Structure 1
Amino acid sequence: MVKRSDSRAMSTIVATLLIIMLTIVVIGVLWVVVKNLVSKDIELANIKKEFFAEHLEITSVKVEGNLARLSLKRIGGESHSKDLIYSTEEVVSQEVDIVSIVDLSRSMVTCNGINKACCSTLGGNYISGSPLGNCTGVDVSKENICTETCSGSWVNRLTPAKEANKELINIISTVEGSRIGLVAYSANVIPSSTIGLTDNVEMLNNVIDSWDTDSYTCICCGINRASQILSEQSSDKRIKKIIVMSDGVANYKCTPHRYDSTQAPIDAINSACAANSSLKNLTIYSISFGAEANQATLEAIANCGNGSTLSVLNSEDLVGVYTQVAQEIITTSVIYNRFNYLYVVFHNETTEHVEKVFEIPQNLQVKGYTFNLEGKLEGEIIKIEVYPVILSNSGKEEIGPLFDSWVKK
């Protein structure tokens, strides 16, 4: 028989053990909480340090009435915009109507550093140089003649352009209801190399296979035709995208239609702005292909269409860039970050207004933004500043050093 005193002792021991176990559990939970808080603070501090050390620059500013258009280029730092702590992301595939505009000017296939006689053998257009010139508009089948017979340097941007657009089609076609159109241009739109909106992949690929180089570069021609296709074949409610690719400088203008290397870039920009004004739910991307491409014009084109510009120097990188654009086009990503955004500060003579920007350009990307300042800031804008901002765990905004500024001259 168990004595009452023994029973009480046993109960005391059990109670003590339970208290000890509960204490251990509480300590463990507190340790995990403290550890997580410290870890988050350390990670936040590291990201803050890297973010404030990055470099963004203002590449263009255009103010028209209450609208201010601004382009930013990111030229350094690690990309954290997609994997920040304290963020949530919702990804939704969306139907889209997209027109890909492709430059088929002579510079897409060239044999460089050869004499005029060799260029004649290649059947190209000779551009004189000292001592040797370049031969443009060469057939892609003549690479061996260029490199072996003529000892030239072979440049083929046409084949990567075909491959990149086929990959674009492959990705876009995975979203049911999406349609694609193709516009090829040189001195004008090339009808046989152009097709309106369709979901017929085979038909689109057949058009791409027919592409060949032609003559000059009329970027405004390509944009105007793409705008016409979307206006006639799409609707206001549908998401619309235009991709403009060029490897050179616009040298053919639209009004009147003739060679004019001075006015042609302006016509191209105006065509993009007109398309954006007339079409709802439109975004214009531009791709600068090669070292000779007019980066400033292509950035302005994308800026008018609230899109971004991507630069490609090497032909082997073009498919990857088109893939990146295609994935962005078919996916709506809504990311709610507790930190890492920008302050864009607009100044007039007497006051200032701040706009927050959450979509930060990726490395080496140029991204355009349009701000409607009606009712927010009256009078002439004389200065624009861009600052990095991080929201701390306590909810306090920490503003970093000035990234860049623009002052009206």
Structure 2
Amino acid sequence: MSGGAEEGRDGGEGWRIPADNDAVIREMLTVAPGGSWRLRSWRVRARWIDASYLHRRGGWVILRLIHPSRRPTSPVPTRHSERFLVALVDARGLDRDTALSVFDVVLAGLRRGEHAFVWEGSDEGTFDLEALAFARGLKPARRICSGADDAMATAHAALRAGHSVCVLSQLDVYPDRPTLTFVARDAGTAAALAESELQQFVEDRARAAQGIRDCGRLLGYPRCCVEAFMDSVAREPTVVADGLPSARAGALGNWVRFDAAWVPRADPLLNTLLLGEHLGLLSFDPCRFDCPAARAIAEPFAAVIAAELPRLWQDMRTALARPVAMDCLDRRAWVELEERADGSTWIRSATPIRAIHGQPADPGLAALLPGHPVDGEGRVPDLDLDLRVLRHAMPA
């Protein structure tokens, strides 16, 4: 090992490399003998592993292994294994194709040994599932809301991958993320997405509505779900006219969509209530939580995650299938339900869920729910509050 597991460990929070893990790391980094590549050296930091590999014809590469919730600080070629994002951070004396060939060899070794590796700690980040869906051809385009620096990194990475990009900055969409980046496989689609976004801000309400419809179509959303979104948007001017702040208007819009989409037994693959926890297969709200058109999008994506990231899918599947409560203030909570002998359903416990990633979960709803009954429509009749509980059942 070059250096040592403790030498040069960086500080910082989040997912960390456990100490005394050298044997496991050495095993998963070592490649099969007799091939074009061999492991030269490796070094462990607190939150990543750097490994150097030599090619038999000369030349070398350095790969950085980080938690799959992280992103490289600059646009570089990457691949995913079950427990790592692997980035090619440097290469010398090799053409591009030869350098990239190291990924297949190293990933084969990782798959043999990474089952014994466990990350330590937790993090506010998460695996970028939408990027995976786009990379596997399951999404025609992406609409990414971020700060200017992240947008630049996203744009460069997309261009290096051969995609087309349009960036809109200084938009008052989200105050802390004022830049929209559209990534598509061709320049025409990226430009059309940017145009449809700008059209949503014109005073002509018919044109603005068409902009929303065009944006949804270009992103591959089902028409029925886009129209349901339009129905909820139609109520937002009334909210603003009542003098409520924009955040409150947005919360009401989320509630309107949830209430309209409620069904007695929801398809867990369509659960979009956990996006604040970065858990979900859809980047749009379904018109109903059993919408066949939405399932046609979610199901193949679930299959990709199950095949490529089986441990992540096990955790996701469990989380998506848990009953969820949401109220008109956009407060959300996982709930544990108790079925009593008289046929009634009661809430035994509740756990807050973040509505917005990066912000703490509002505990108010979770504190109210335990000890109250739930009726057949998912409502809690003895609480003077608009809320519903959504239960899931995996379709046959």
TM-score tier, shorter chain, comes to under 0.3
Larger Rg: 1
After TM superposition, the score normalised by the length of structure 2 is 0.26
Compare relative contact order (CA 8 Å, sep 6+) and give the higher one, 1 or 2.
Answer: 1
| Greater per-residue strand proportion | 1
